[in-house]
Structures are given as structure tokens and as C-alpha cells.
A and B are shown apart, each in its own frame.
Chain A
Amino acid sequence: GQSLEQPSEVTAVEGAIVQINCTYQTSGFYGLSWYQQHDGGAPTFLSYNALDGLEETGRFSSFLSRSDSYGYLLLQELQMKDSASYFCAATGGFKTIFGAGTRLFVKA
């Protein structure tokens, strides 16, 4: 079957750096994506890794290790508006399965 694991909650202070880990198990794995979802809203795409290594997009970076079936999302210079749920999602077999989500609380 397909499954992803990520922490349920993370709390950090404004200006800090936080890392959200994700391990996955999926057949025909193609890549790992990250999405942000604020309460009441739809998910928005943050980043995607198909190859091993680090992808950087502004304050957000994402990492993938295919051999370890592991990835993480790194958020730097945290802002209050970053408080949201973050989902890792594995694409394989032409469909994408989402993890349970990590709720990030950013404190002042």
C-alpha cells in the first residue's frame, strides 16, 4: 500500500527555522511534493522534489532522499502567517497521496 508519515504538530517562534519530516512508502514513486493549507482554504503548492537533494524557493526549501524514502520541508525566518497545515504528498502511478498533515503553530 501507500502511506506517508509526518509529525502531527510543530510549534516554533517567529523568526526561527523549522523542519517538517516526511517518510513515505509508495509503489512507483515519482516524486514528493509539499502543500500548505490554511484553515478553511484549499491546499497550495509549495515545492516538489523528483531527484535527491535540496530545492530552494525563497524562505522554503525541500529535501528528498529516495534511498531513505525520506524528505523534509524547511521553513526559514518564520512568520505568523506561516501558521498552517503542511502536507507532504507522494506521486506514483499517476496519482498523488497525501500525508496526514503537520499543523505548524508560529508564536510571537
Chain B
Amino acid sequence: GAVVSQHPSWVICKSGTSVKIECRSLDFQATTMFWYRQFPKQSLMLMATSNEGSKATYEQGVEKDKFLINHASLTLSTLTVTSAHPEDSSFYICSAPSAGGRGETQYFGPGTRLLVL
């Protein structure tokens, strides 16, 4: 199956700093990638849809100025958590849909655990 990588896998940072998370599709091109956030023992909440060559589409309630998304190429999307605060501590997961792009099958990255002190 297709492979999606994320970097870093773990981040610990001080409150007020910015953190960048990279999501790469390793063996396929992804014009669309999805960013999710998951708090402990909860579901995956879709934050935004990252579109190559255009602006990301954010879900209701997600601050676009706080969670900056850039889809720089067909294999790379980045999520930057700006001025992170302890409440932003979470598990951030990206995914890319299978060929066909409707999203029915998604390949997930391994996730990035963010801890803001």
C-alpha cells in the first residue's frame, strides 16, 4: 500500500513557540491531504483539507491563522501550529487519499505528538 510519512514524530515545545509538522506521500502523488487532530481516547477531528497549489479548506471552528497549512508540492504538506499553547497539545495526523481522490481510502501518516509546556 501507499506510504505516508510524518516528521517529527514527537515535539515538546514551550508555550508561545511555533511548530512545523511535515507530511509526505512517499510513493505516490497527493493533490489533496487531510489534517486531523486527536485528543486522548477521542476520535479524529478533521481540521483542514490541504490542496496543492491553492489555499487549504478549514473546518468550522479551526483557526486558519493559528494552524497554517502549506501544500508546497504533490508530495508535501506542512502544518504549522503558531504560538502554541498547552491546549494545542494533541496527536496530529495527516492522511492522503487513494488514487481517485474521493477520500474513500486514506493512507495515514504515523502521527505527531505535540506537547506544549
Contacts and interface: CB of A to CB of B under 8 A. Distances in A.
B16 interface: no
A41 interface: yes
Best-surrounded residue of A43, A97, A101 (most CB of chain B within 10 A): A43
B108 A43 contact: yes
A72 B55 CA distance: 36
Interface in B32-55: 32, 34, 36, 42-46, 49
B110 interface: yes
Contacts of A98: 36, 43-46
Given A42-B111, A43-B93, A94 B106 contact: no
Given A42-B109, A43-B93, A44-B108, A95 B103 contact: yes
Contact of B43 (A48, A91, A100): A100
Nearest to A100: B43
Contacts of B44: 43, 87, 98
Contact of A48 (B1, B104, B110): B104
B105 A33 contact: yes
Given A87-B43, A100-B42, A45 B101 contact: no
Interface in A56-85: none
A19 B41 CA distance: 21
B93 A42 contact: yes
B101 A94 contact: yes
Contacts of A33: 104-106
Q: Give the 4 A-B CB pairs with smallest separation, nearest first.
A: A42-B108, A98-B44, A100-B43, A42-B111
